[in-house]
Amino acid sequence: MPLEQVQPDAVLPIAERRLAGQALRKIVPRSLHARWKPPPNRHDPLQTLVETSRHRIARLLPIRYARMRASPFAFMRGAAAIMAADLAETPASGLWVQACGDCHLANFGTFAAPDGSPVFDINDFDETLPAPFEWDVKRLATSFALDAQARSLGDKAARQLARTVTLAYRMHLTSLARLAPLDAWRSHADVAGFVDAFEEPRLRDREFQRIQAATEASHKGYPKLLEKRRGTWRIRDKLPLIMPITDQYDDTHEIVARTAFSSYQLSLPEERRILVDRYRLVDVAFKVVGIGSVGTFCAIGLFVTPEDGVLLLQLKEAQSSVLAPFAGPSVYANQGQRVVIGQRIIQGQSDIFLGWTQEPRNDQHCYVRQLKDSRVAMIAETMADGALPHYATLCGATLARAHARSGDAARIAGYMGSGGVFDAAIADFAMAYATQTERDWRLFVEAIKAGLIDARES
């Protein structure tokens, strides 16, 4: 079975691969990555949004659009397809990795590893696909520029944050390129060290508390999500974000969800299947998630034991990656499998319940993972201004580790070099594309005001 990645050249020594990366600068100078100018034939961004929403649940699209309306950064989060098309028009070194595909600062978070320890990593892989390494770096840098502008920190701070995240990526990937493959594979982000670096004690204590809360959330069983009705655990309704599926007049969605959870177990290794079999599925509910994912089918499955042991799994629809029209289709026909394999490659410690649905003659592909606390995604959005440079460094290093697992770190490091040329180019791109995103967002807001797009929270 082929892996969802581009195999690095493991035959040549590290030094020779670095030289090969340096040679690529003559073909694609690093300064070219600073360029962003919309091509004359650029597709209408609003039309792209409409086209990518055709296969989503129509009644949920107003919620998606309302969330995107909040700010240019929120718009960017829901407009991965727009940026993917734009990135395809930019220079590329030809060095590919297993890309996240939707790499932005809110797509990183702290959660509990299987052994209970805190882990910081990328946490959403719906768009993962092999692609040029620069695409993830440019999207991540742009997200920091947009976030800084939304906080009214000014263009200088925005550019510096974009440069900081790129510098951290370059430096950490260069250090990983020197390691033995197994050592690089086992490396992880030091989230405790990240917080320890804060000079202000109050800020340091605040971030430690938030990281601890995110880490412990899964161990507490999400009590606010559950309630007992007639002696049986049920998922608590929270309309319109969490809607009941079980025991409804129309049981179509319940049948779909239960069948999907059942077929998902076939993708698990035998020992994980034994573990899941010790629980019984007692309730399912529809869940509205994120910004870019709103409108796709997403359900929560509540599994319990006779002694009230609780396991919450999230079933999420996987459509084709937004990168596919430009980077090529996945080697996996099942899009749920594409997401799972990509996540296992990119993440340092993946969820032990990660798997995909396997239903013949069903073209709605899904993947399953353990439900994570929504506060994980909120950490970046509510982080204090003073913590942003530290957070940019952590995200950049984490992305480098993710890329080193599938790409040729020595070639990429050789291409980026030891100076600041690449960092400056990406920062210039981030600022230019942040301006483009704001321009697209304003068109989007005007379309809502004109009644061309329906945006409602409920």
Is the model's pLDDT at 375 over the cut of 70?
A: no
Instruction: Please compute the mean of the pLDDT values over residues 377-392 and round it to a whole number.
Output: 74
| Residue whose token pair is 């951290």 | 168
Is the model's pLDDT at 3 over the cut of 70?
A: no
Find out whether 150 and 72 touch, Cβ atoms under 8 Å: yes
Is the model's pLDDT at 146 over the cut of 90?
A: yes
Hey, what are 341's tokens? 């394999």
Condensed to tens digits (0 to 9), the pLDDT of residues 293-349 reads: 887 888 999 999 999 889 999 999 999 999 999 999 999 999 999 999 999 999 988
Is the model's pLDDT at 1 over the cut of 50?
A: no
Find out whether 80 and 322 touch, Cβ atoms under 8 Å: yes
Q: What are phi and psi of 90, to 5 degrees?
A: -95, 160
Is the model's pLDDT at 76 over the cut of 70?
A: yes
Stated as kind and residue range, the H or E segment containing 241 is none
Distances (CA, A) of 262 to 257, 268, 280, 298: 9, 11, 11, 15
Domain residue ranges of the chain, discontinuous segments joined by +:
14-215+384-449, 218-370
Is the model's pLDDT at 71 over the cut of 70?
A: yes
List helix spans (H) across 217-323: 252-264, 270-276
Q: What band does 230 get if pLDDT is binned at 50, 70 and 90?
A: confident
3-state class (DSSP) for residue 317:
strand
Q: What are phi and psi of 96, to 5 degrees?
A: -105, 155
Single-letter residue type at 117: S
Hey, what are 146's tokens? 């947009």
By the 10 Å C-beta count (0-12 exposed, 13-18 middle, 19+ buried), 89 is classed as middle
* pLDDT at residue number 70: 94
Choose between 186 and 436: higher pLDDT.
436
Find out whether 402 and 100 touch, Cβ atoms under 8 Å: yes
Structure pTM? 0.91
Choose between 450 and 253: higher pLDDT.
450
What number of other Cβ atoms are within 10 A of residue 234's Cβ?
A: 18
* pLDDT at residue number 189: 77
Choose between 216 and 158: higher pLDDT.
158
Instruction: Please compute the mean of the pLDDT values over residues 20-44 and round it to a whole number.
Output: 96
Which of 104-118, 139-153, 293-307, 405-419 is predicted least confidently?
104-118
Distances (CA, A) of 17 to 401, 407, 418: 18, 12, 15
Is the model's pLDDT at 75 over the cut of 60?
A: yes
Which of 203-207, 389-393, 454-458 is predicted least confidently?
203-207
